[in-house]
Structure 1
Amino acid sequence: MPVIVVTGTGTEIGKTVVTAAVAALARARGRSVAVVKPAQTGVAPGEAGDVEEVRRLAGEVTGAELARFPEPLAPATAARRAGLVPVRPQQVAEAAQRLATQHDLVLVEGAGGLLVRFDDSGATLADVAGELGAPVLVVAPAGLGTLNMTTLTAEALRTRQLEQLGVVVGSWPADPDLAARCNLADLPQAAGAPLLGAVPQGAGALPPDRFREQAGDWLAPRLGGRWDAAAFTAAAFDVAVR
């Protein structure tokens, strides 16, 4: 998989930290990594964005931010309000393909969910994945409501004949409630794809060296780690029973 598209079922659910974890594990195996952020919103000029955060956590990766809009809105809305040219799917795909000729892995991290609009024509991250023919990794929250959002995202991917690589829980709570624990078993069915990890809440606040050391405990072998979905699910219920 020279290119993976990383999306979420919504905003603020851990996409950037998951992207950084995947990048860190690839780098630990000696692979060169690039990260593409098609549209960064809600960040002022000169302020660190998601690409910089991935670099901070994962280490030396090549970063490409294609567009930046100051207001924390959907990319199409933010571009229109700022009077700036929106990013286009073909532009994103071309950047990722160019980086893929020079790197072993390219991660394309979207803004918000799969169908958040890039421009007023309705172009989305799904169109980028289609242009690239790349698999999509879905990041989802742990708790109540995630099954519906994950099912809708999976249905959108299937409708567009896009491959879903799997699902990662972007922020696994230290004290998960019943819904979160049950969702570990139900998410693969909702997604129609395997559960490939659970990143602990607050992982992004770890010192970078500890983040890199521990990333393998959060992601499954498909993503370069050693995390086991069945064992993690069983342990979550065992702890709750105790």
Structure 2
Amino acid sequence: MSVLMVTGTGTGVGKTVVTAALAATARATGRSVAVLKAAQTGVRDDEPGDVDEVARLAGPLTTTELARYREPLAPATAARREGRAPVRPGRIAAAASELAEVHDLVLVEGAGGLLVRLDAEGGTLADVAGLLRAPVLVVTQAGLGTLNATELTARELRSRGLELPGLVIGSWPEPADLAARCNLADLPDVTGAPLLGAVPAGAGELAPAAFRAAAADWLAPRLGGRWDTAVFRAGRAL
């Protein structure tokens, strides 16, 4: 799994913090890590972007941002409004491949959900994954309303023949409400994909040292961590 795509079921689900947890966990085992942000939107040139946040939390690593647009819109829309060239799937795939030649793990973080448009031709992160034949980790929400969006994302990945290794809940609340606790069983059921982690709400506000020390506790062994699905679910049984 030298290249891993990280997508979400929408905006604000915790992709960046999950990407940081993946990076921190990999770095703790001595692996070299690169993080590639295909398109950063809603951030000015003088402001830190998602890759900067990942590096702050996870520690020193290679970061690459291919495009940045000021307005908080889909990349294709933001590029059009600024009169700038979009970032296309082929360019993203080429950049990821180049990074993979000299790093043990390349994390490619998308913008918003899987089918958010990158260019006027309808290119998406799913197209990038297809070019790379890379697995796509889905970051999802914990509570009410998450089942539909997560199932649709899983169906789209499978319809394209793309690998879905599993799901990570990007912001797990404590205490969790009834919907969130039910979703621990329902998310794997509706998607056919295992839960591979749950990052606590507010994890991104931890001091970097505390974040790095805890990151492996939030991710399952398949992602390099020590999170146990059965233990997590048992502790929140209905």
Give the TM-score range, shorter chain. over 0.9
Separation (CA, whole Å) in 2 of partners of 1:98 and 1:182: 42
What residue number does 1:71 align with?
71
Aligned-pair CA distance for 1:236: 1.0
Q: TM-score, normalised by structure 2?
A: 0.99
1:80 maps to 2:80? yes
Q: How many residue pairs get matched?
A: 238
Separation (CA, whole Å) in 2 of partners of 1:230 and 1:83: 50
Q: Which amino acid aligns with 1:10?
A: G
1:154 maps to 2:154? yes
What residue number does 1:181 align with?
181
Q: Which amino acid aligns with 1:45?
A: D
Secondary structure of the residue aligned to 1:127 is helix
Aligned-pair CA distance for 1:191: 1.9
Separation (CA, whole Å) in 2 of partners of 1:217 and 1:23: 13
Give 1:4-19 correspondences, 5 Å limit: 4-19=4-19
Equivalent residues of 1:20, 1:58 under 8 A apart: yes
| Structure 1: segments with no counterpart, 5+ residues | none
Separation (CA, whole Å) in 2 of partners of 1:217 and 1:202: 15
Give 1:51-70 correspondences, 5 Å limit: 51-70=51-70
Equivalent residues of 1:21, 1:212 under 8 A apart: yes
Separation (CA, whole Å) in 1 of partners of 2:148 and 2:229: 20
Over the residues paired in the alignment, what is the CA RMSD in angstroms?
0.7
Aligned-pair CA distance for 1:119: 0.6
What residue number does 1:217 align with?
217
Separation (CA, whole Å) in 2 of partners of 1:122 and 1:88: 9
Separation (CA, whole Å) in 2 of partners of 1:190 and 1:75: 29
Q: Which amino acid aligns with 1:13?
A: V
What residue number does 2:234 align with?
234
Separation (CA, whole Å) in 1 of partners of 2:96 and 2:46: 23
Secondary structure of the residue aligned to 2:12 is coil
Structure 1, residues 29-58: CA drift from partner, whole Å, max 9, x if none?
000000000000000012100000000000
Give 1:107-126 correspondences, 5 Å limit: 107-126=107-126
What residue number does 2:99 align with?
99
Equivalent residues of 1:116, 1:125 under 8 A apart: yes
Aligned-pair CA distance for 1:217: 1.0
Aligned-pair CA distance for 1:98: 0.2
Separation (CA, whole Å) in 2 of partners of 1:207 and 1:219: 19
Give 1:30-69 correspondences, 5 Å limit: 30-69=30-69
What residue number does 1:134 align with?
134
Separation (CA, whole Å) in 2 of partners of 1:22 and 1:190: 25
Aligned-pair CA distance for 1:7: 0.1
Aligned-pair CA distance for 1:192: 1.3
Equivalent residues of 1:167, 1:191 under 8 A apart: no
Separation (CA, whole Å) in 1 of partners of 2:211 and 2:234: 24
Overall identity of the aligned pairs, in %: 70
Aligned-pair CA distance for 1:61: 0.9
